Structure 1
Amino acid sequence: MSEPNVTALTPLAFLDRAAKTFPGKTAIVLGGRRATYSEFAAEAAALARGLARLGVGEQDRVAYLAPNVPELLVAHFGVPLSKGVLVALNTRLASAEIAYILAHCDAKILVVHESLLDSIRPIAGELRLSTVVVIGAGDIAGVDAVEYRKILDHNAHEPIDWTVRDELATISINYTSGTTGRPKGVMYTHRGAYLNAMGELIHSRHTSGSVYLWTLPMFHCNGWCTPWAITAIGGTHICLEAIDSEKIWTLFRTEGGSHFNAAPTVLVMLVNSPSAAALPQAVTVTTAGAPPSPTIIEQARVLGFEIIHVYGLTETYGPYSVCETQSDWAELPATEQARLAARQGVGMIHTDGVRVVDKYMTDVPADGSTIGEIVMRGNGVMKGYLNDPAATEKAFEGGWFHSGDLGVMHPDGYVELRDRSKDIVISGGENISSVEVEQVLVSHPAVLEAAVIGVPSEKWGERPKAFVVTKPNAQVTPDELRSHAATRMAKFKVPDVIDVIDALPKTSTGKIQKFQLRDREWSGHHTRIQG
């Protein structure tokens, strides 16, 4: 930018400031490993120099396949400091999926953690990379790999520029799940990452005293921009390589964990853990990924968790809206408070707000019942899809990003998600919200989790079917669950079939993979035996 009093926005500035303001403060923890903010910044700078030595230049892609380890946190600064673009890969991807993404984004360098080398070995011969870097020990047959520590260039005499010329340049690429086709590369900008990180700080109520537990994968929407946010405020990152409810409860107690982000399924796991008990410190959990049921919100609050409910997509840097709590809600019964808190709310402070529209892009009535598509725009929305102008144009038809999510607008201006467009069950011409049915089933004291999908029906086209996981040592029959649901919703919404199963298929971030259930049920349109 040419104006003398305008500086291009970039989250890189957050680490530069934190290292100068909190040089000796603990910034990163993983088990016995600890690093101060001064050390954090020094490693990010050393990584940037090292990547530049390996040939990384303006907008070159640097891919990372790693769990929530300090090296991936450092990469959120070190890669863009080298002028490159960070591509953090989902650690649960199959080898073929990894190969596709590396080719699609034209990655120059792949950094892989030693625990994930088996994901790379089957595709080693296909890789078209200049360098493969391994965090830890291990090798890949047929590939010349270098150990991570050896690429770091600690030449402190070579200055690092913590600014950028173009705030709209791509800082990272995050790939969608690809459940309805090839995954798409969602481009984030320096400006968007900066502003979304600031939004996270405000809405999740972080301070320099925040001790953030990394329960959310950093590869997922760049951890909802939290690597940048916690660093901006000078908080402490507690890295966690895998979700383990007992370990999380231990870290709450030993490290003084004050904040974490998680899908509702992770909340369910924590609330039902044998170690679950109220903590001496306040704990704020920001939850998204699926609409949390009022039941789990109530249970979490009993343990002293403060729930911040947000909503968003990969295309919106993670969270885009937040269910802001109103002061007069405190006068309502706990169940009513939880019901209101389960809504997706209003646009976060850095956004252009959220709308619910019909197919003509006209806002639906704010009556809490008329269903439309949720659309968004502004600083909280992606730059576009990498190498896919047609998909980008379609996504922004009418000037707003089309989420593909269906919802209603309430009279108070709060949005409530009713379903993904593909998850709505259309039975005999009636729309049935799978979310509504799931929340009713989870309100039964024996139910831990539930997923509802539409299954083939000769008479109605499709009917809702439920898959239920019960709490440990709890027993309940399908008939009991149907009777429970029938007292809380219209009869036509009650599932004809309820399967009690051991576990639901989930992504690495805890989202239930309904497409797996749906694919199985629609294969051959076979007749099911009712429970």
Structure 2
Amino acid sequence: MEGMVVCSANYVPLTPISFLERAAFVYGQRVSMVFGDTRYLWKETHERCIRLASALSQLGITRGDIVAAVAPNIPELYELQFGVPMTGAVLCALNPKLNATTLAVKLQQLEAKAIFVDYEFTKVVLEALGSLSQTKNNSPVLILIQENHTNAFSAIPINFRLDYHALLATGKLDFDISYPKSECDPISICYTSGSTGKPKGVIYSHRAAYLNSLGEIFRIGMRQKPVFLWTVDMFRCNGWCFPWTMAALGGTNICLRDVTGTAILNSIFLHDVTLFCGPPILLSKIAETLAVDPQPLPQKVDVIVAGAGALPEPQIQTKLSELGFNITCAYGMTEALGPVTSRTIRRSCHDETSQLDHEDARTRIREGTHSLIIEGADVKHPTTMESVPADGKTVGQIMFRSNTLMSGYLKNAQATEEAFQGGWYRTKDLGVKHPDGYIQMKDRAIDVINCGGEIVSSLEIEDVIIRHPMVSEVAVVGRPDELLGETPCAFVKLKDGCCIVEEEIMDICASHLPEHMRPKSVFFGELPGNSTGKVQKFVLRDRLIKGDGKSL
């Protein structure tokens, strides 16, 4: 339109780097970070991140380079979320629980110019790097993160060139921050969990990170001066974007090296924690600790759970709620920068909301599915791309459209094209849409069981079996059958000291499931899991194909 212009006065590329600069100005004297006896103010965190960026620049790190990190939730990893992008480089925080072989595969793909390594994980990183073919010219700079930053520089392993805090000391406060030329420039890479056997590097843009960080505030209804306990891994979707969200709000970050029920509760009472997030197992850890000494919380604490693992029994959830925990179940994936919806995706038919007739409940459903940052959430036929009827029965694929989705998969154009085929992000999760707008996840497309023409959800069967008081974990997969094609087969891990027989699992399924959904066989033992705790169902299917189910 005539008269319109786009210039530096009315357009600045969106980047969460700006959140830290604002935090230093607005909340400079407010506590930003607590880790044991270590405390920083937002002014100090800002300065440390600038020094970090300056020091990295002096090492030759520049726009487009990749910097990797292998560390738990410690202040240094938090600072990398800002310091690396300030150089124009791209951060990839890797799961420190990976074995050397898996880590080597990811490092080979990343070709990182520098790798920050926490002292606990030097051995596995060096082993992984040792298996890669590298020359002196392309080997990454290794920087050690030590627990006690007063340790002498000479004490670091010979393979490591620098110590984190010694590196920080070389940085300058007058460093000229390298802002993105385009808000679509990459800011980070996060790897999928690989529950299907093929983990992929997911690329996030500055724009998506910025918008999703702000979206967290509205999605969760975060209060002023939040105190966030770091129980969700920072390597997982950049900690669900909370490093940037907390800077936007000037909140306080409470870091934990080891996440236990006791550590969580102690932090809540000591630091007045208002929010923490992570997998459902967090609730079980807390419940086990409270079983010894149940006591109400000093204030209400919001808890958001999503990801691998089943929720604890309803009575445990009720007890936690009575003690002061506001529990929200969310649904998302790495490609969407973490949780996408909350209170909207029901894992099974047993997760019913008793007050759906109330207008406020229906409003929450609509808000959860169609949040401010999600342009579209739907269940579609994967071929025709038509929306399935909102009848709660017709199965389709859950799809999203949003400004907060990944930019693509690292060095995998084919997978990127497939994910965005038809102009929507295809989650590969199957679901149904209810008349009230509720989207109910039925199963992963790869995990559904075709039993004599009936599509059976493995999740619905698992949600029944996990109710048994002696069951710790369960995974259901399809077992090849000459007559029916596939039949449900359950793999069950029992709680310590418990012993039950196959018939007991069959009985609880018979009480809650129709005939075609009941497992025809049950095996007991440990379940194969990846480094993030997700059961690798493809391993179980392979064992069944080979007739080796009982080797669990």
What residue in structure 2 maps to residue 251 of structure 1? 267
What residue in structure 2 maps to residue 385 of structure 1? 409
SS at match of 2:73: coil
What residue in structure 2 maps to residue 323 of structure 1? 343
How far apart are the structure 2 equivalents of 1:467 and 1:174?
Answer: 30
1:161 is displaced (CA, Å) by 3.3
Q: Which is further off, 194-203 or 290-299?
A: 290-299
What residue in structure 1 maps to residue 80 of structure 2? 75
Matched, 1:200 2:220: no
Matched, 1:354 2:377: yes
1:483 is displaced (CA, Å) by 1.8
SS at match of 1:45: helix
How far apart are the structure 1 equivalents of 2:502 and 2:111?
Answer: 50
Matched, 1:525 2:547: yes
1:133 is displaced (CA, Å) by 0.6
1:285 is displaced (CA, Å) by 0.9
What residue in structure 1 maps to residue 277 of structure 2? 261
What residue in structure 1 maps to residue 324 of structure 2? 304
Instruction: Give yes or no for contact 1:309–1:344 (8 Å, CA) kept in 2.
Output: no
* 1:428-443 equivalent positions in 2, closer than 5 A: 428-443=452-467
Deviation sequence 1:139-174 (CA, Å, 0-9, x none): 556x35211112115655514438433211100011
What residue in structure 2 maps to residue 227 of structure 1? 243
Instruction: Give yes or no for contact 2:98–2:531 (8 Å, CA) kept in 1.
Output: no
1:404 is displaced (CA, Å) by 1.0
* 1:67-146 equivalent positions in 2, closer than 5 A: 67-125=72-130, 126=132, 127=134, 128-136=138-146, 139=156, 143-146=159-162
1:18 is displaced (CA, Å) by 1.1
2:536 aligned to 510, 513, 517, which one? 513
So what's the TM-score if we normalise by structure 1? 0.90
Matched, 1:25 2:49: no
How far apart are the structure 1 equivalents of 2:192 and 2:141?
Answer: 25
Instruction: Give yes or no for contact 1:210–1:259 (8 Å, CA) kept in 2.
Output: yes
1:505 is displaced (CA, Å) by 4.2
Instruction: Give yes or no for contact 1:345–1:416 (8 Å, CA) kept in 2.
Output: no
1:410 is displaced (CA, Å) by 1.1
1:419 is displaced (CA, Å) by 0.7
How far apart are the structure 2 equivalents of 1:11 and 1:70?
Answer: 18
1:9 aligned to 10, 14, 31, which one? 14
How many residues end up aligned between the 2 structures? 520
Q: Which is further off, 296-305 or 243-252?
A: 296-305
What residue in structure 1 maps to residue 189 of structure 2? 173
1:346 is displaced (CA, Å) by 0.9
Deviation sequence 1:231-251 (CA, Å, 0-9, x none): 211111111123322222222
1:348 is displaced (CA, Å) by 3.0
Instruction: Give yes or no for contact 1:49–1:153 (8 Å, CA) kept in 2.
Output: no
What residue in structure 2 maps to residue 240 of structure 1? 256
* 1:148-167 equivalent positions in 2, closer than 5 A: 148-153=164-169, 158-161=174-177, 163-167=179-183
For structure 2, the 5+ residue unaligned runs are 1-5, 346-352
1:106 is displaced (CA, Å) by 2.2
- Counterpart amino acid of 1:257? V
1:343 is displaced (CA, Å) by 12
Deviation sequence 1:324-371 (CA, Å, 0-9, x none): 69xxx67579xxx99x99999514321112111112211111111211
How far apart are the structure 2 equivalents of 1:258 and 1:24?
Answer: 20
How far apart are the structure 1 equivalents of 2:296 and 2:538?
Answer: 36
Instruction: Give yes or no for contact 2:431–2:440 (8 Å, CA) kept in 1.
Output: yes
Deviation sequence 1:408-456 (CA, Å, 0-9, x none): 1111112111111111122222111111111122233444443222223
How far apart are the structure 1 equivalents of 2:467 and 2:67?
Answer: 45
What residue in structure 1 maps to residue 3 of structure 2? none
1:471 is displaced (CA, Å) by 5.0
What residue in structure 2 maps to residue 496 of structure 1? 520
Q: Which is further off, 95-104 or 313-322?
A: 95-104
How far apart are the structure 1 equivalents of 2:298 and 2:468?
Answer: 30
Deviation sequence 1:471-509 (CA, Å, 0-9, x none): 5666654323322221212122122233444x5444444
1:213 aligned to 211, 229, 245, which one? 229
SS at match of 2:341: strand
What residue in structure 1 maps to residue 474 of structure 2? 450
Deviation sequence 1:202-226 (CA, Å, 0-9, x none): 2222233322111111001111111
- Counterpart amino acid of 1:319? P
How far apart are the structure 2 equivalents of 1:19 and 1:98?
Answer: 36
SS at match of 1:219: coil
SS at match of 2:374: coil
How far apart are the structure 2 equivalents of 1:290 and 1:96?
Answer: 23
Instruction: Give yes or no for contact 1:112–1:133 (8 Å, CA) kept in 2.
Output: yes
2:303 aligned to 276, 280, 285, which one? 285
So what's the TM-score if we normalise by structure 2? 0.86
What residue in structure 2 maps to residue 459 of structure 1? 483
Identical residues among aligned pairs (%): 37
Instruction: Give yes or no for contact 2:62–2:89 (8 Å, CA) kept in 1.
Output: yes
How far apart are the structure 1 equivalents of 2:370 and 2:356?
Answer: 24
2:430 aligned to 376, 389, 406, which one? 406
How far apart are the structure 1 equivalents of 2:515 and 2:206?
Answer: 50
How far apart are the structure 2 equivalents of 1:332 and 1:418?
Answer: 19
What residue in structure 2 maps to residue 364 of structure 1? 388
1:229 is displaced (CA, Å) by 0.9
- Counterpart amino acid of 1:96? T
- Counterpart amino acid of 1:194? Y
Q: CA 1:277 to 1:473, structure 2 compared with 1: closer, same or farther past 3 Å?
A: farther
2:508 aligned to 455, 479, 484, which one? 484
Q: What's the C-alpha RMSD, in Å, of the aligned pairs?
A: 3.0
1:29 is displaced (CA, Å) by 1.4
2:288 aligned to 244, 268, 272, which one? 272
Deviation sequence 1:93-120 (CA, Å, 0-9, x none): 2223222222322211111111001112
Matched, 1:55 2:60: yes
1:312 is displaced (CA, Å) by 1.2
Deviation sequence 1:166-199 (CA, Å, 0-9, x none): 2111000112234545532211011100111111
How far apart are the structure 1 equivalents of 2:312 and 2:366?
Answer: 9
